[in-house]
Structure 1
Amino acid sequence: MLFRPPTVAQMNQWKERLNFSGTQMARILGLKSARRWREYADENKQQGIPPANLFMGAALVTLPQPDIDRVLATMREIGATIDLDADPESSAPSGEPQP
């Protein structure tokens, strides 16, 4: 797989097009907090968003809700615990932090 992450400027342009806050960007990208989003959006760091996080964000803003629900159901069938609306600091039933 070849993956080159979008630049910080491109990520910030996407955020602006979506008219999202840092908290909303963190949520769709599966990040723990808006602070983590700000690290990815910092011109001085240039660390690049991982492909899985970018894929998740793109899927959540592109796919119809029934398709998202099907993917989440498959993740749960595999054994994941996932709640997109839960507080990122909450724990899964096993006591392990949720991804």
Structure 2
Amino acid sequence: MLYQPPTVQQLKQLKEELGFTGAQMAQLLGLSSSRRWRDLVNESNPQGVTPASLFLGAARLTLAEKDIQRVLEKMRQIGAAIDLDANSDSPAHDGEQQP
């Protein structure tokens, strides 16, 4: 797989176009916190968004909610516990912290 993440400027532009806060961008991309979003857009030390996080964000911006729910259901069938609206510090169903 070839992957080159968007630049810091491109990520900032997306945030501006969406009119999102840093916390909303973190939630969109499935990041652990708004601090992680700030790390991604730190121009002095750009981290680069992972392909999985960018894919999740793009899917959430593109797909209908019913399609996203179908994918989440498949993830649950495979064995994952996932709730896109839960805080990152919410315990998973087995008591472990979610990543």
Question: Which TM-score tier does this pair reach, normalised by the shorter chain?
Answer: over 0.9
**Corresponding pairs, count:** 99
* Cα offsets for 1:55-91 (capped at 9, x unmatched): 0011011111111010000000001001111111111
Kindly, what percent of the aligned residue pairs are identical? 58
Cα distance in structure 2, aligned partners of 1:84 and 1:47: 23
Alignment of 1:82-97 (within 5 A): 82-97=82-97
After the TM superposition, list the runs of 4 or more consecutive aligned residues in structure 1 that deviate by more than 2 angstroms: none
| Residue segments in structure 2 that go unaligned for 5+ positions in a row | none
Question: TM-score of the superposition, structure 1-length normalised?
Answer: 0.96
Match of 2:59 in 1: 59
Match of 2:35 in 1: 35
Question: TM-score of the superposition, structure 2-length normalised?
Answer: 0.96
| Residue segments in structure 1 that go unaligned for 5+ positions in a row | none
* Cα offsets for 1:18-72 (capped at 9, x unmatched): 1111000000111111111000011111111010000001101111111101000
Alignment of 1:4-23 (within 5 A): 4-23=4-23
CA RMSD across the alignment: 0.8
